[in-house]
Structure 1
């Protein structure tokens, strides 16, 4: 007795939840914001331009973020979360204090030129400072969080004996953060600077500055 083979019925498309659709739209809008700012400048980042770049309407960006400042604050928070994920991926907090500080700087400078989002961040920061915008507070909170993390690593390094005890952890953390901020702005001004040479020099200088014996280790 023969059997009739039937083609399997097509699988019904998987329906995504409202939360999943919301997350995707927010991600695309944040990516579009970074793209528009990095490629066209801060003034070009209107809701209309961002929505068009993301493939959505202007109204969706307004609905989700309320204002341009709200959108930029969301982008800042997103970049901060992504940085924390990258640090966790490289197990920075598992290192000795001084090595963790140097690894943080090393990782930051190795990836400084990789993403449009990083370029957009510093362009938006420069714009907020130039315009005396209320957004300066959002950037200040992010920088304070970074400073606190670096200060903790310096304190740990002092307890372990790898960092000179006379160094003030808060000042040291601010100095490291300011070094990275200054290099980031310089990279915006001149994207062709030799970041690898600057990375090596920065690491050697910081190791020498923090080391109890004042001896810098040559880096590859």
Structure 2
């Protein structure tokens, strides 16, 4: 029986996924400065024209890659209500995912680190980190409201500290994988925040 022909949307989705994977691989190998539409197309097995068709230009491609690499990084949190439990699950899940660090996670970390010196990347990652801090702040505030988090805790400070800690651990894992035991850190860091935040 012949297989069903793919729809135009399915072909488009497949091409976009291949292009984003190619872009992630190139960023990990040589950094964002070396990323060109022609190289992405070639790596993915397409022409430069299809890259332009899908993304328009390099900046739009990098922005889409930044969002794609972070989307759903910690699965299973969608149905967990805000509060201390969700915060601890997020921390544990983030560190657990570092044990399976793939090309998209590596690309995100490279892009995030390069954003400190590249003005075209900085706004993307300021936005991503602000959204991350807002989620964490919501969890801390919900925990204060339901009595599971110490009311003297400052939600903004906790959010900034957690993002800094998680991103720092992730960068260490990227630079020297053997020096970071994600599973051991998942237990110890989650335990630290549980003790530090409980009322």
TM-score when normalising by structure 2: 0.89
**2:155 is equivalent to residue 166 of structure 1:** no
Q: Which runs of 5+ in 2 are unaligned?
A: none
Q: Residue 186 of structure 1 corresponds to which residue in structure 2?
A: 172
Q: Residue 105 of structure 2 corresponds to which residue in structure 1?
A: 118
Distance, in Å, in 2 between the alignment partners of 1:99 and 1:82 is 18
Q: Which structure would you say has the larger Rg?
A: 1
- Aligned Cα RMSD in Å? 1.9
Q: Residue 130 of structure 2 corresponds to which residue in structure 1?
A: 144
Please report how far the alpha carbon of residue 79 of structure 1 lies from its aligned counterpart in structure 2 after TM superposition. Answer: 2.5
**2:189 is equivalent to residue 206 of structure 1:** no
Distance, in Å, in 2 between the alignment partners of 1:39 and 1:20 is 29
**2:116 is equivalent to residue 129 of structure 1:** yes
Distance, in Å, in 2 between the alignment partners of 1:37 and 1:204 is 34
Q: Residue 79 of structure 1 corresponds to which residue in structure 2?
A: 69
Alignment coverage as a number of residue pairs: 197
Structure of higher RCO (CA pairs closer than 8 Å, 6+ residues apart): 2
SS at match of 2:87: helix
**2:90 is equivalent to residue 100 of structure 1:** no
Q: After superposing the two structures, state which structure 1 stretch, 38-47 or 64-73, moved more.
A: 38-47
TM-score when normalising by structure 1: 0.81
TM superposition outliers: structure 1 runs of 4+ over 6 Å: none
Q: Which deviations, in whole Å up to 9, do the C-alpha atoms of 1:184-217 show, x marking residues without a partner?
A: 12222212122222222211211111011xxxxx
